[in-house]
Chain A
Amino acid sequence: MPGTTHGKMISGMTRALRCAVIAGTLIPVLTTAIQAQPFNVPITDPKVNLRFDRYHDYAAVGEAIDQMIEAFPKFLRLEIIGTSWEGRDMRCVVINNPDTGPDTAKTAFYVDGSIHGNEIQGIEVNLYLIWFLMENYDTLPMVRELVDTRAFYVVITQNPDGSQNWFEFANTGSSSRSGTRPLDSDNDGRFDEDGSDDLDGDGNIVQMRKYMPGAGTMKVSDIDSRLMVPVEQGEVGDWIMLGSEGIDNDGDGRINEDGPGGYDLNRNWPTDWQPDWIQGGAHWYPLSNPESRAVADFLLAHPNIAGAQSWHNTGGMILRGPGSADRGEYTYRDRQALDYIGERAELILPYYDYIVLWDDLYTVHGGFIDYTFDNLGIFTFSNELWSSRQYYNEAWTEESPIPNEQRQLFYNDAVGMGAWYVDWHEVDHPTYGTIEVGGWSKFYGRMTPPFMLQELCHRNAMFAIFHADQMPMVELGDIDIEQHEGNSWRITATAMNPKAIPTRADAARQNRIGLPDFFGIEGDDLTVHMGGFPSGMLGEQLNPVERRPERISIESGISGRDRVTVSWIVSGSGSVTITYESTKGGTVSRTVPLR
């Protein structure tokens, strides 16, 4: 049981204080008192006792969501944004404080995970993120401010079928990446007819080897009898490796070439989409799968989303686009915002590197982060959760007492008590006769060991929160009113964005996506003669816009940690209302008297 190491006194105290908060939203004094209390992160006595040393499958995720909604009904809402191929719910948990406005009126952060069915850590981080924000709303002022000013859309998994398939059936750590919609991967007119086969029924798909004395290409390693190594040139071995556990179900001479699905939901997005023969896994056409279509429809219906994260595994990376060299580089201004966040992410996430997808990893056509950035103007990162470097505490060196080849097995024995390696053992194979199967279980390599999972969840959720906090937030600065003559005035107003992400991405402006920001003025007795941007060394001149001075279009929005100033020459009386409208940065307005 986690969370029991601290004394009853503290947990008793927090419980009492929470009651005080519930009763005391009307009593700010008490709230202030609570803020001053010392606090454990994560909370040790939560309302909802979720465990983050285990992985949640589809049903368990449903239960966890239900429990959290029951505990925090005011803030949490479950939206089913679509249905997967097999008919599972595409669950989106909306985090919003209705007291401060509807979610659609706030700048929102989108997060999903497990678009690749086997990359299940994202599901845990997403549950943790919701859980953490809710459990700490009353006690951590930073949490409260974030939850009060922003909305969160948490799509727990983009690929519920693929994830469930990974949990339920025999797999490797890398299989079940696809969804489960049948696809004729080998073009023989039959669908999914030759998947892997769990010959020993242990729930893992491992490797096959056959003993062929004097006729093999492989031998047992001197370092560890579980390791197989290729023979030297001129040598003969006693073993042949026969590939992944399976049989030739369809008699075409190949093994496991047409398993469940066989497409890649993260190559199915519109931006830079390429057909399957160029970009493997692309499927038929952009958004041809119900899961990607549901997510795209949701994103398109929520232009208030300004930041996004899509969790993957593995390798310890904070990835940004572009996904292919052909896309060119982002503008300096867009890159500045991404770099600001990405460079800090490396500090939040030990063992993780902030890198560019195509340049530092591989080329992806039709990937999610290109879609959200180029097609939707959302500043997006995709983290490759978990680095295998975290197993060993440090990179392997010559001084290590364990040979490099053996260190994974050493770890399996010394830290996992043999939990993750399937020792070689005999089975019968319909084509190869008696063979042996053995190797790494699906829980090793790409998966985080359960005892390290909570830290992974916490740190990555904190990064998502950091990223979300850097979404634009428009504020109005001073409004300067200068009387010219009679009832003629020059009004100068400034809008600011104190956050790192611009209110509108250059990508959106270049691609003519969404609306520009607007800086407007209106009043009951008001004629706007001219409007534009102050120029001259002291801003004493005016560079007027050609049309619609009463609603000046700000095509680039406000850059990160920057401001935009406009002036109007008007005549009129009474008061004027000045409004800055930004789809992603929010809308703020103030009414001032003309005097």
Chain B
Amino acid sequence: MKLFRSIAIPTLAAGFLILVLPTLSGTLLAQTGSYDAYLNHTDLTARLQSIVESHHDLCTLESMAVTTGGHDLWMVTIGNPNNGHAATNPGLLVVANIEGNHLIGSMAALYLVDYLANGYETEPAITDLINTHTIYVVPRLNPDGAELYWSQAGTEMPWKADPEDDDRDGSADEDPGDDINGDGLVTKMRVRDPDGIWMVDPDEPRLLKRADRTRGERGIYTIYTEGVDDDADGEYNEDGLGGTHLNHNWPHQYPYYQDHAGINQVSEIETRALADFAFTHRNLVMALTFSPYDNLITSPEAGFEREAPVNIPEGLELPPGVSMEEVMEYFRERKAPTSILSQDAPYYRFISERFREMTGLSGKGASGEAGSWPQFAYYQLGLPSFTTPVWTLTSEDDGEQPGTSSDDIPRARIAALARRNGTSEDQQWLQWFESNGIEGFVDWTPANHPDLGDVEVGGFAPNARVNPPVDRIADLCEQHARFAVWLGAQTAHVQLVDTEVEATGPGYYQIKATIQNDRYLPSALEMGLRTRRVQPVTLRLLPVDGMVLIQGPLQQQVRNVYGSGGRATVEWRVQAPPGTRVTLEMLAPAAGGLTSVTISLNQEGR
């Protein structure tokens, strides 16, 4: 018999709303400045300051650290202006420009800040997102590296500027590539060599291909990076400029002892600042990264996972109060998974479908993500972690507007066709350069090399394949900002939807609390449960004089509440004088914050 119903939160509408795509106006929302050029640190800083200044009620700008190059590592925090509990609202962490030269990432992050700030109280989806979430944006994790895009424009460098001794000879950065032919770029050199393994690609004479002896092909070239042997050690350009690649510096599948991976995991000022932030902000519910890696155009596949064996030492005596299950869990020989868990994969698949609809992006991201931040965010922080390159080659193939049905994406068909025709990615790049009038390839021209004699210099221009032409920035950023707003709205929101008190005898009561998650994502992914980084939803009865606990404990935890209306119920039995008022608290730092209700133990009973 239900005697008392403390709260009734309307939940019906939300269930229908969550999967409806936001229908924002066609005009660009981001208004603070234009999006027709890539920005260096000074300009990016000015833009961020200007947005934050004109929206100081919504945003703050903080320096997370100062890099060795003396640049501030900026973080913009955007949150509900009416609620001082920004750190208790579910947090969305957006990180970009981890590779110094991936400037489109910083533009997308800047645009998102701009878009959110300007859309608040004019666009309902944005208003709702900011009212319920705190959005942390690191627009440029690698400011030192980004400056190299301008100061070392002739060289393609995704990593940091700090020197590193790649060839372990005691000096750092002493043999970088050099501009032999004076075109301002470090490209490649090909040298005629009877021992060479490269030949001219018969399909595209500008490209080289590896000769295949089994098909009667004969190599005539050896390829070097353009440059001289600066340190006279017999090797060309083996210790180039720059140090740690900040997207190879993270502990999951860390590439130990590899060049540019750093002296050890999280060894850099930048990565440490971000890691410390992530671990001290338990309210984080999602990570979105703008980096060359992708798991949104193509969603990750779950791999087969064997259950970890349990090896309990012989003759182990169970300590008092410890269950066999706890002991088994303790002695389980766990191993870090290397592919997404099968329970989590469907969520990634669903979100990936929406992403392709909303951005029209196809093509593929970079490979080799071992030690990357997006991986770390999923495998070790346990967060849903998404990453998009913002721009890919095939996203540029035609002018078709995104948002059409996912079954009919011409770009995907073109890419598929290209694969069937055997057109290599390099050939596609050349075609794309031509059709867009971009000087992305340096034709092979003779040059004289001090040691190698006659060489030809040519190949892909540095950074030509990293960032889109500037006239594409605004569109791509707009699509990604729209997606980010939609994505943020999918995170769990757990509410206390029902509390019941039932008298089970004179002065005896049963208390039940039901919680419910009406958003799309569960309050914890399976990976979040495994890593124990996602905090369970905690329900506690605050002790009160005269109340004796019969069945408890006072504080109980729910590890996960599924999305789309998933529920969980927690029970207590107490003995207390009729009329006692008890406070019930629900703490869900990563799924809605703190809720507190007071309930009255009614004197009627059976």
Contacts and interface: CB of A to CB of B under 8 A. Distances in A.
Contact of A251 (B235, B320, B555): B555
Interface stretch (A271-279, A314-322, A386-394, A402-410): A271-279
B316 to A, nearest CB: 13
B370 to A, nearest CB: 15
Given A243-B320, A547-B233, A253 B553 contact: yes
Given A187-B536, A189-B535, A284 B557 contact: no
Contacts of A300: 263
Contacts of A513: 257
Given A252-B553, A270-B264, A275 B538 contact: no
B168 A276 contact: no
A81 interface: no
A271 B264 CA distance: 8
A276 B533 CA distance: 9
A286 B168 contact: no
Contacts, number: 105
A269 B76 CA distance: 32
Contacts of A189: 282, 535, 538, 587, 589
B380 interface: yes
A364 B13 CA distance: 51
B152 interface: no
Given A243-B319, A515-B169, A188 B234 contact: no
Given A273-B251, A511-B257, A248 B553 contact: yes
B555 A188 contact: yes
A548 B264 contact: no
Contacts of B320: 240-243
B504 interface: no
Contacts of A270: 264-265
B581 interface: no
A274 B251 CA distance: 8
Interface in B528-570: 530-532, 535-536, 538, 540, 543, 552-557
A287 interface: yes
A113 interface: no
Contacts of A285: 251, 265-266, 275, 279, 380
Given A188-B557, A270-B264, A375-B264, A278 B251 contact: no
Interface string B261-278: 001111100000001100
B264 A286 contact: yes
Contacts of A275: 251, 336, 379-380, 531
A362 B232 CA distance: 49
B170 interface: yes
A251 B234 contact: no
Given A270-B264, A511-B257, A278 B334 contact: yes
B265 A286 contact: yes
A251 B540 contact: yes
Interface string A509-540: 00111111000000000000000000000000
Contacts of B553: 248, 251-254
A548 B170 CA distance: 14
Contacts of B282: 184, 189
A534 B540 CA distance: 78
B321 interface: yes
B262 to A, nearest CB: 10
A275 B531 CA distance: 8
Contacts of B263: 300
A286 B555 contact: no
A251 B583 CA distance: 14
B150 interface: no
A99 interface: no
Contacts of B538: 188-189
Contacts of A515: 168-170
B578 to A, nearest CB: 23
A511 B255 CA distance: 11
A252 B556 contact: yes
Contacts of B532: 187, 276-277
A243 B321 contact: yes
Contacts of A188: 535-536, 538, 555, 557, 587
A49 interface: no
A250 interface: yes
B251 A286 contact: yes
B304 interface: no
Contacts of A255: 321
Contacts of A296: 264
Contacts of A277: 334, 530-532
Contacts of B554: 251-253
A250 B168 CA distance: 54
Contacts of B16: none
Q: Which 10 A-B pairs have the closest CB atoms?
A: A253-B553, A270-B264, A547-B234, A251-B554, A252-B555, A241-B320, A278-B334, A511-B257, A285-B266, A284-B279
30 contacts: A188-B536, A189-B282, A189-B535, A189-B538, A189-B589, A243-B319, A248-B553, A250-B555, A251-B554, A252-B555, A253-B552, A253-B553, A271-B256, A273-B251, A273-B265, A275-B336, A275-B379, A284-B275, A284-B279, A285-B275, A286-B264, A287-B264, A287-B267, A296-B264, A300-B263, A511-B256, A514-B168, A515-B170, A547-B233, A548-B232
Given A188-B535, A251-B554, 9 more contacts: A184-B535, A243-B320, A251-B540, A252-B556, A275-B251, A275-B531, A284-B275, A285-B251, A515-B169
Interface of B: 168-170, 232-235, 251, 254, 256-257, 263-267, 275-276, 279, 282, 319-321, 334-336, 379-380, 530-532, 535-536, 538, 540, 543, 552-557, 587, 589
